[in-house]
Amino acid sequence: MIARNFRDHFRMDAQLIASAPGRVNLIGEHTDYNDGFVLPIGIDRRVQVAAAPRTDHRVVAYSEAFDEEWDLGTTVVDNLRKRYWSDYVLAVLRVLTLEGHRVPGMNLYITGGVPVGAGVSSSAALEIALARALCAAMDISWDPYRMARLTRQAENEFVGVNCGVMDQVTAAAARSGNAMLLDCRTLAATYIRLPRDVAVVVMDTGVRRTLGGTEYNARHSVCQYVVSRIRSIAPGVRALRDVNPALLETARVLLDNTAYRRAKHVVHENERPRAMATALSAGNFEDAGALMNESHASLRELYEVSSVHLDLICDAARAHPACYGARMTGAGFGGCAIALVRAEAVDDFVRLTQPQYESRSYKRSDFFRVCPDDGARLDALT
């Protein structure tokens, strides 16, 4: 389909197609930029990028999701400006240029297979799919972890979102059928096979947000502030990942109440990914669900990144007998929640829970089961 659409739009044939998945984080929220642990999966909804060379050294990108085309010019280092989706394209082009690679002229066609603003990381899917396509087009050896770091740098420095590295690593290196227990400091990953007895259901609240328009960066800043205060009594602390509950309580007198609550969420949330990986591996879905519920409560009460709609949708999910647990996923402030559900009851869960949420929220929602999918790849030209 994308090859045909590329031909229709640019009046030429694509030479390659790359894709990368969106992601759902099962648990470990707002821990990645604190060097902590997370437990994401790549999902079977993907962004695709088709590419072909141009002869005039210009980069022209078309987004199917926004039905927009931008001529990004010939000097990608100097051309970054507020263009929403194209900021991400320009940012990736820029980091590759600054790495010493000469970006050739090319046409890019980008699909919208991952919902935008829903908390399932459409931005990282775009960045990594684009990086995979550019590496193939420019004959750069594909290293998923190196490209994850570079695209995170692109988003931090040139788009202005102080995200951690989880989204990019997941989009680059996820594995089908598995969750990834990821150490965001070392990028060491352990793959955890998801049992077939349970399913992950994404519940889109219908409320969109952009991280630039939320307090996401403010949460990142307060975590850095807490670390700077704790270093006065524990100089070896590099990030909140290095702070245990006892140290946090000792340092409480150094912090205002808001900073303490933010840090308390991160410190306790950082233990949940490993605990949930253990529970899933043992088939203990009740404990896994309880961890999800605890995580959501902490995000709501301590980190304050949930919303009325996220709370409503999680409450509706937990009311169904086949649901083990539910929580918001992603940065928050809107977007999606997830539920861990008995696999054979997914259809009944969706049939009953979705209208219950919509009747209480007056929002159109989207519920869909996701299966763990592979990270970035080159797709067939069909």
- Fill in the amino acid letter for 111: T
**Nearest in space to 44 (alpha carbons), one of 142, 192, 198, 175:** 175
**Nearest in space to 10 (alpha carbons), one of 83, 81, 64:** 64
Question: Which residue(s) pair with 47 in the sheet?
Answer: 20
Residues 19, 46, 118: CA angle, nearest 5 degrees: 135
Distances (CA, A) of 41 to 157, 167, 373: 26, 10, 7
Query: What is d(CA 3, CA 15) in angstroms, rounded to the nearest whole number?
Result: 9
* Neighbour count for residue 173 (Cβ, 10 Å): 22
Question: Which residue(s) pair with 83 in the sheet?
Answer: none
Name the phi and psi angles at 115, rounded to 5: -55, 135
User: What secondary structure letter does DSSP report for 359?
Assistant: H
E strand or H helix that includes residue 179:
strand 178-183
Catalytic residue positions, numbered: 167
Query: What is d(CA 291, CA 29) in angstroms, rounded to the nearest whole number?
Result: 12
Query: What is d(CA 128, CA 123) in angstroms, rounded to the nearest whole number?
Result: 9
Query: What is d(CA 102, CA 237) in angstroms, rounded to the nearest whole number?
Result: 40
DSSP letter for each residue of 98-166: HTT--PPPEEEEE---S-TTSSS-HHHHHHHHHHHHHHHHTT----HHHHHHHHHHHIIIII-----SH
**Nearest in space to 178 (alpha carbons), one of 323, 42, 346, 368:** 42
